[in-house]
Chains A and B, each alone.
Chain A
Amino acid sequence: MSVQLNIHKTHRRYTDGKDIVEVEGKTVGECLSVLIEKYPGMQNVLFNSKGELLNIVEVYVNGESAYPNELARTVRDGDVIYLVFFLAGG
């Protein structure tokens, strides 16, 4: 199973500059675990110390919000995950 993870530009410094990372997993949570295994720097920009997604992180699967149970959201081969952030400037 290959799932495409789209990495926000501010975090590509943790993924060797890659904007897309292909991972395998049956849920969003599994996919993120694989991502962090490969790129440990992503841990602190996605999760707090309790292992919960940061409030500022938004997860979309195939263009649809996965909130509120993002990590349990099932994914299939070919699915596309966007990791985006609650922009806050004005």
Chain B
Amino acid sequence: MLTANERERYDRQIMIPEITEAGQEKLKAARVMIAGAGGLGSPIALYLAAAGIGRLRLVDHDQVTLSNLNRQVLHWSDDVGRKKVDSAGEKLRCLNPDIIVESIHATVAESTIDGMLQDIDVLVDAMDNIPSRFVLNKAAIDHRIPFVHGAVAGFEGRAMTVLPGKTACLRCITRGPVQPETYPVIGVAPAMIGVIEATEVIKYLLNLGGLLTNCMLRYDGMTNDFLKLTVKRNPQCEHCAQVYGKE
């Protein structure tokens, strides 16, 4: 049940015929984990908070540095040195006091991820390296939690949605992890991809439209090209072969 304040706050999206008050109540009841509170995590969290996702769980192990500020728009100059989850959580609670923001200052790893995913409806990738993304992908499949992947470099980005047991996962289409590196990036790239990821979350929760399942969306900000590439599950996938078709 929405409060009068919530009806007013979300009025413009409740007006969307595909959402209505019933959809807004679903968003309010939803629990979403965002793994990473940086370049991707900032727009994802901002737009999901603004949309009224009832419970956002932010996970990040970093502190804010000056070199983050070209793209990590939830963190401002005065936040340098603070934990990212504290800096981000504060802004999100100001933006929308009607939602619950949980801040977890911890590293995403095989040994920690299971506990982080408790009571989560959707997991969103906002990491900055491939090995961590594989940890998320595997855990999402093990827990049967939909997983929205996104990644960026330079002016480019990509996004894909995984429905465990039903569609191709991240491991299905890649040979294996590579060593973490520091990638060049300008803020508009994670902004674009983060908003696409947030849109996927909202559509999934409301069962609307078409998701980026079995599809890798590539975006090139230099040319303004969007390219939808078809991906398929790998029957020998070491992450999802065991669960495929069992959902």
Contact = CB atoms under 8 A, between A and B. Distances in A.
Interface string B187-203: 00110000000000000
Q: Is the interface of A mostly helix, strand, loop or mixed?
A: mixed
A84 B218 contact: yes
A20 B177 CA distance: 28
Contacts of B129: 88, 90
B17 interface: no
Contacts, number: 91
B151 A86 contact: yes
B232 interface: yes
B218 A89 contact: no
Interface in A51-76: 53-58, 60, 63-65, 67-68
B86 interface: no
Interface residues of A, number: 22
A90 B39 contact: yes
Nearest to A52: B175
B127 A90 contact: yes
Given A64-B232, A65-B229, A68-B234, A89 B151 contact: yes
Given A55-B177, A67-B175, A68-B234, A88 B153 contact: yes
Contacts of A60: 229-230
A87 B151 contact: yes
Interface of A: 9-10, 53-58, 60, 63-65, 67-68, 82, 84-90
30 contacts: A10-B154, A55-B174, A55-B175, A55-B176, A55-B177, A57-B175, A60-B229, A63-B228, A63-B230, A65-B173, A65-B216, A67-B231, A67-B234, A68-B175, A82-B227, A82-B229, A86-B130, A86-B151, A86-B174, A87-B157, A87-B158, A88-B128, A88-B129, A88-B133, A88-B151, A88-B183, A89-B39, A89-B153, A89-B190, A90-B39
